[in-house]
Amino acid sequence: MRVITCSMLFLFAFACGRGTESPEETPGSRGVPLTYRSVAVDGVSDGLRYENTGSVPVIRLSFTAAVERTSATQAVGMTDWELRRVATEISFLNNDSDLVIKPSSPLNPLSKYTLTVSTALKSKPGASLVRPLAVSLLTAPDSTDKFPRISDDELLTLVQKQTFGYFWEFGHPVCGMARERSSSGDIVTTGGTGFGVMAMIVAVERRFAGREEVVERLLKIVRFLKGDATTYHGAFAHWINGRSGGTQPFSEKDSGADLVETSFLFQGLLTARRYFDGESPQERELRELITGLWEAVEWSWFRRNGEEALYWHWSPDHGWAMNLRIRGWNECLITWLLAAASPTFPVDRAAYDRGWADGGGMRNGRVYYDIPLPLGPAYGGPLFFAHYSFLGLNPRGLSDRYADYLEQNRNHARINYRYCVDNPKGYAGYGEHCWGLTASDGNGGYGAHSPTGDRGVIAPTAALSSMPYTPEESMRALRFFYYRLGDRLWKRYGFIDAFNLTEQWYAADFLAIDQGPVIVMIENHRTGLLWDLFMSIPEIRAGLAALGFEYAH
């Protein structure tokens, strides 16, 4: 026993001696790196990024050794998204190996903050933090309502009325057409004007504006289109100068006809021709001018020498250089329908089946979030695919050999919603109250945002224009956008174009092609007004039949 005891004492002394002579083996000593063990915010440990935190979040940082207190006050700092310093309070727990940090005063709601710990942090034996630490925080929205509560029906009317102001107050003073965006000066948009025409019909029906004054505005538009705007085989350019009528090139080679934008325009004009059926000289002139413009579009010429296709662009300077066929699935079904419906230059079903449907190649048939998707790209693509063609074209009861179009659009919207709730990329704010990915402005510029091209940008038009497809989900989003985020999103012409809560970015502009569908699709959800008008047009009925559609409504 004595031998064993001596041996044990010897080993113990040797170990102690080694500890004195080799400090790198003692945790927290000058030779052992100081690192963090964990981060927790308000008791939740989830990496280095936290959303929906309280206004006074409690951040607990655990380190591998006791921290020297003086170094902590030098190393720890908090800044807001504009890099302004935020005062904090620091306390110590667990024998000084844990730091507890909280802001000295409440943080702003829906704001981005960063807590940093620099390498100036040292352990008590003097080891420095190996690498800086940064914890990202996004505070929760203010739980208070920004505007008084009203009924859902009143809220829908308010949104339609205020958004209508974009087309009414901000229409170009010379031609009456819709400006491309709220910063575009004399540039007016062909497709956005078509959406605005449909918005004006809603305005008359809901008494946002008088019938006679709307007819006068529409006459200003169609007289300009007839007498001043440059056309190319009857089709209009994407952008037009609202004073001169000349073409404003959309890109270097896109300096002539845009058949898709032309179809969006005529979706609106033909609906107006149907709605304004009075016998006053003004309404008769309006109908006659629209019919003349409609019958002048040489849809079949855009088959490019008789190909079983339709081409999107043609330019007198560059010919067919854009070389973009209009094929599905995307926002362009209305183009093919109007081309088939034309009483003067129609296209046939064979071109539709091969040129648009690609012989069935536009089918999807896969399932996302347990929801089948009949057509289109993975996850459906941006939501404007379910909006632009369907401002007038009623998907309810509409089908052909490729899809039931209510199922297509409803499931597309549901998949987009479920993706945002799932939020696989962890963007701030996404959830059942804040969703909707479509083409819009973004903090990185304009883009076609979708589940496969998600950059954290939510566009109110995406959820609101999906109201006929996802009424409960869209209404939740509307309440959230208006009551909780209204101080940031709700402006003179309704909701701003888009926002990114992760980057604390909010659009400065409104866009015609995003504002118009909000008004129109909400109305289709409420009364079906635009659907009923458009689908009752004789040429449209003939076009649907020519393409093999069935419409049971």
pLDDT digits (tens, 9 = 90+) for 415-464: 999 999 999 998 889 999 999 999 999 999 999 999 999 999 999 999 99
CA distances from 499 to 379, 481, 507 (A): 22, 11, 6
Dmax (CA) for the chain in angstroms is 123
Q: What is the pLDDT of residue 1?
A: 34
Residue 368, pLDDT score = 98
- Report how far residue 517's alpha carbon sits from residue 462's, in angstroms, rounded to the nearest whole number: 9
pLDDT at residue 235, rounded to an integer:
98
Rounded to an integer, what distance in angstroms lies between the CA atom of residue 468 and that of residue 414? 12
Return the residue matching tokens 């918005």: 199
pLDDT of residue 24: 38
Residue 484 DSSP one-character state: I
Q: Count H helices, E strands: the chain?
A: 16, 25
Beta bridge partners, 491, equal 494
Q: Write down the H helix ranges in 480-511.
A: 486-489
Report how far residue 320's alpha carbon sits from residue 108's, in angstroms, rounded to the nearest whole number: 54
Distances (CA, A) of 435 to 9, 407, 498: 69, 20, 11
So what's the pLDDT on residue 23?
Answer: 35
Is 27-139 a CATH 2.60.40.10 domain?
A: no
Give pLDDT, residue 31: 56
- Written as one string, the DSSP assignment of 312-372 is SEEBTTTBTTT--B--SSSS-HHHHHHHHH-SSS---HHHIIIIISGGGTTEEEEEETTEE
Q: Which two tokens stand for residue 446?
A: 């304009």
* 3-state secondary structure labels for all residues of 388-410: HHHCCCCCCCEECCCCEHHHHHH
Q: How many Cα atoms sit within 13 Å of 6 on the Cβ side?
A: 3
pLDDT at 370: 98
Q: Which residues contact 140 (CB under 8 A, 6 or more apart)?
A: 51, 52, 53, 54, 55, 109, 110
Residue 202: per-residue pLDDT: 98
Domain ranges of the chain: 27-139, 152-551
**H-assigned helices in 346-459:** 349-351, 405-422
Task: Read off the amino acid at residue 37.
Answer: R
CA gap 217, 262 in Å, rounded: 19
Which residues are within 8 A (CB) of 276 and not within 5 positions of it... i.e. 6 or more apart? 211, 215, 218, 283, 286, 287
Give Cα 84 to chain centroid, integer Å: 30
Q: 222, 250, 252, 228: which is closest to 238 by C-alpha?
A: 250
Strand pairing of 133-139 and 235-236?
A: unpaired
DSSP 67: B
Q: What share of the chain is helix, strand, coil (3-state, %, to 5)?
A: 40, 20, 40
Q: β-pairing, 133-139 with 49-53? A: parallel
Q: How many CB atoms lie within 10 A of CB 154?
A: 10
What CATH superfamily classification does 152-551 receive? Glycoside hydrolase 144 (GH144) (1.50.10.140)
Question: What would the pLDDT profile of 226-279 be if each residue is shown by its tens digit?
Answer: 999 999 999 999 999 999 999 999 999 999 999 999 999 999 999 999 999 999
Bridge pairing between strands 88-93 and 363-368: unpaired
CA–CA dist 455, 503 (Å, integer):
10
Alpha-carbon distance of 242 to 232, in angstroms, equals 17
Q: Which residues of the chain have pLDDT under 70?
A: 1-31
Residue 9 pLDDT: 32
Question: pTM for the full model?
Answer: 0.88
Residue 156 tokens read as 């829908």
Task: Reduce the DSSP state of residue 128 to 3 states and report it.
Answer: strand
Distance CA 250, CA 489 (A): 28
